[in-house]
Amino acid sequence: MTRSTPLRDRAQGRWASLLPMIGVDARFLTGRKNGPCPMCGGKTRFRFDDKEGRGTWICNNCGAGDGPALAMKVLGIGFRELAERLEPLIADAAVTPRRRERSHHEQRADLNRLWNEALPIRAGDPAALYLTARTGLTSFPRCLRVVEQLRYQDDAPSYHPAMIAMVSGPSGRAATLHRTYLTRDGRKADVEVPRRLMPGRIPDGAAIRLFPPAETLGIAEGIETALAAASLFAIPVWAAVSSTMLAKWHPPDGTREIVVFGDADPKFGGQAAAYTLAHRLAVNDRAVRVELPPRVGIDWDDVWNEGHVAPTGNQSVDV
């Protein structure tokens, strides 16, 4: 390549070598797993994945970008100055062998292995303690009939124990897994991102099926919110994982009434997702209603933990 070739093309495959040369600490560039972010300082938000040798990275707070974007953000310089610093270094920078992208089949094999190696939730383990404290599930192991899509993983001493949830598509086929990292005494782990979706193709309409399908079925965002709503309103409730997935959710065949349990977000994201879903279902002649917590800034898990009674006056569901 000549100097007339764009800088990004000439630097492709060399970012892992070039970035430390111009002042980006190499400890941020290992790419093995999420770690400290060189921009915002988050402890487990950042990963340098260097896809296609473009120096790509992602941070749950700062967003995502390529090698030039990372250098400019970390060093506080513009593209012209970046180019001037890189120009004399590119030819001598080592090329990093390109990682082979994992295939869809390999990803599914990893997910299946993780699910099969995880343990059923049992009384006294961190996942059971967490669910008991957060959601109204107070009788183990009897309540496990409603949480067959949840398991417990313990990779000690390598990392935190975790609650593992199966995310299924509208057909019921498993799509991916969701992790909630926990402490040994059943609290949410003190990490930057305690909840994570694993890699996988997630079809529109997917959810964590915490209960069997039913004629009356609720849908909420998070696992804890769904189980708390089930306890408050005495109906089965599934978890859509996020507001984006909530808005795209599809009820199963045979469900005649849907209750959408929205979060009362200060910026109305949860409410917007709940009513977007409700509108789509209503225009398709589905019986649907939206239930929101009594004040802004909380969700139904907060309502449960504050000891409030559901507006309908329902008794807690027998789980």
pLDDT tens digits, 49-85 = 888 889 999 887 788 899 999 999 999 999 999 999 9
pTM (2 d.p.):
0.69
For strand 119-120 and strand 63-65, is the pairing parallel, antiparallel, or unpaired? unpaired
pLDDT average, residue stretch 35-52: 85
pLDDT (0 to 100) of residue 100: 62
198-217 CB burial, b ≥16 within 10 A, e <16: bebebeebbbbbbbeebeeb
pLDDT tens digits, 9-28 = 889 999 999 999 999 999 89
pLDDT (0 to 100) of residue 195: 86
More confident of the two residues 223 and 102:
223
Residue 276 neighbours by CB under 8 Å, 6+ apart: 247
Considering 109-118, 120-129, 199-208, 257-266, the range whose residues carry the highest mean pLDDT is 257-266
Q: Can you give the length of the chain in residues? A: 319
Contact assessment for residue 235 and residue 214, using Cβ atoms and an 8 Å cutoff: yes
More confident of the two residues 211 and 144:
211
Q: Of 221, 262, 223, whose CA–CA distance to 245 is shortest? A: 221
* Peptide bond preceding 141 in cis form (omega within 30 of 0): yes
pLDDT average, residue stretch 258-287: 96
pLDDT (0 to 100) of residue 302: 92
Contact assessment for residue 198 and residue 106, using Cβ atoms and an 8 Å cutoff: no
Distance CA 242, CA 260 (A): 13
- Mean predicted lDDT score pLDDT of the chain: 85
